[in-house]
Amino acid sequence: MEFAYFHLMPYTASPETTKDWPVPNHRFDPEIGHELYTTYIDNMAYAEECGFDWVGCNEHHMSPFGMMANPNIIGASLIQRTKKIKIAMVGNLIPLLNPLRVAEEYAMLDVLSGGRLIAGMFRGIPHEYVAYNVSPSESYDRLLEATQLIIKAWTEPEPFGWEGEFYQYRAVSIWPRPIQKPHPRIIMSGSSKRSAEIAGQFGAMFGIAQIKTMENARELIDAYKNSAREHGWEPKPSDILVGLSLAISEDADEAKEMLTGGRKFFAEVLGGGIRTAQQLVLHKSRYYDDEMKGKFIDARKAAMISVDDLIEAGTALCGTPEQVVEQLRYVESQLGHGVTNINMKTGNIPDEAITAGMKMFQERVMPAFQNGR
């Protein structure tokens, strides 16, 4: 089992709730923001010292949900602070961006890091399309074409032209080229069956950001594996990433209290504005098919599920180190994944508790899954 450490970089200084979209930025204090960036980058760099195999950055816009409007900037900062941990861009929202710019910046990160980049080709969550005024109905088709173009830009040693549905370039020859050959390892999201199939098509790693139910996760993994086989390759456990929230403490009740409070802040403060935007996407576009629309509506009620119910369902890790080991063993037995993506900064869980939890996870959870590594 490999372990990835993931951070949303939320802006937690304002407890004000809102349903406005975009969220008014008068709530953002740049001085506090500076302090938070410093704290968060320190924390993410500390993941290497705590034995994590990856550290993950991601992209969000126009709300306190996350302060990484450009995760590549954070990735570059982490490269300078670390020596061996993989830098996972999970990831750039490919349909919203200039794909050649993504190809160039990812190549820069790969060269700067000495070949440590994991390159996320992600579709993004619905509100990002409102933020950047891109049609959500085109999201899958843009993802497909942009990913094909980025791979070609990485691997074609001579200038080439591109005439696609969404992107047209007379001549392409990016500088620099990546270190990893034929190109950096790609990871793609598997939040829907179609996304899972696309990951299999491209020979990419497959990631479930957050388990909804075990049944749903197994269905998505099966769709990924079937697609991979149709395209001539067989995924290994190391090709499958599963994301889980974690709260860990010597006192199980304290861990549950932390996660309960963090989830409440996440739902009420960090998620209010983006839910408004997501409803616009839901009703005005083809971002979701009918099946996914129903799942999205159910997901809005997720914050009302108790932590005890999450633990029982295997969709969160919470408790003492010994309890977390057993919970993670259960998830592994159900899904057979080889990478667990750990998110400890749920909502406003205190940063000092997270730092202590990272060390506890290293010393008393990781050894149970390392098999002599």
- pLDDT tens string 161-196: 999 999 999 999 999 999 999 999 999 998 899 999
| CATH assignment of the domain containing 361 | 3.20.20.30
Query: Given pLDDT bands bounded at 50, 70 and 90, which one contains residue 136?
Result: confident
CB-based burial label for 166 (10 Å; 0-12, 13-18, 19+): middle
Cis peptide, bond prior to residue 126, ω within 30 of zero: no
Determine the residue type at 100.
L
Residue 168 structure tokens: 């047209």
* 147 alpha-carbon distance from chain centroid: 17
pLDDT of 14 > 60? The answer is yes
Q: What is the pLDDT of residues 283-336, one digit of tens each?
A: 554 545 555 554 444 444 666 789 999 999 999 999 999 999 999 999 999 999
- pLDDT computed for residue 373 by the predictor: 46
CB atoms within 10 A of CB 89: 25
Q: For the chain, what is the mean pLDDT?
A: 91
Are the C-beta atoms of residues 112 and 74 closer than 8 Å to each other? no
What's the residue count for the chain?
373
Half-sphere exposure of 162 (CA within 13 A, CB side): 23
Q: Is 173 exposed, middle or buried (0-12, 13-18, 19+ CB in 10 A)?
A: exposed
What's the confidence (pLDDT) of residue 298? 42
d(CA 248, CA 55): 19
* Residue whose structure tokens are 């990631």: 207
Longest CA pairwise span in the chain (Å)? 61
Which pair of tokens denotes residue 126?
A: 């619905």
pLDDT at 296: 47
Task: Give the contacts of 115 (CB within 8 A, at least 6 positions apart).
Answer: 178, 179, 180, 184
pLDDT at position 364: 98
What pLDDT is attached to residue 278? 67
pLDDT digits (tens, 9 = 90+) for 16-38: 887 777 788 999 999 999 999 99
Partnered with residue 187 across adjacent β-strands are: 120, 205
The CA distance from 370 to 3, in Å, is: 10
Measured distance CA(75)–CA(330) in Å, rounded: 32
Containing domain of residue 288, as a range?
A: 2-369
219: left (phi over 0), alpha (psi -120 to 50) or beta: alpha
- Rounded to whole angstroms, the Cα distance separating 14 from 354 reads 20
* Number of domains into which the chain is organized: 1
Output the pLDDT for position 277: 66
Distance between CA 125 and CA 11 in Å, rounded? Answer: 18
The answer to whether residues 45 and 76 touch, using CB atoms and an 8 Å cutoff, is: no
Q: Is residue 349 pLDDT above 60, yes or no? A: yes
Q: What is the 3-state secondary structure (H, E, C) of the chain?
A: CEEEEECCCCCCCCCCCCCCCCCCHHHCCHHHHHHHHHHHHHHHHHHHHCCCCEEEECCCCCCCCCCCCCHHHHHHHHHHHCCCCEEEEEEEEHHHCCHHHHHHHHHHHHHHCCCCEEEEEECCCCHHHHHHCCCHHHHHHHHHHHHHHHHHHHHCCCCEEEECCCCEEEEECCCCCCCCCCCCEEEEECCCHHHHHHHHHCCCEEEECCCCCHHHHHHHHHHHHHHHHHCCCCCCHHHEEEEEEEEECCCHHHHHHHHHHHHHHHHHHHCHHHHHHHHHHHHHCCCCCHHHHHHHHHHCCHHHCCHHHHHHHCCEEEECHHHHHHHHHHHHHHHCCCEEEEECCCCCCCHHHHHHHHHHHHHHCHHHHCCCC
pLDDT tens for 242-289 read 999 999 999 999 999 999 999 999 988 888 767 666 666 665 545 455
Spatial separation of the C-alpha atoms in residues 226 and 224, rounded to whole Å: 6
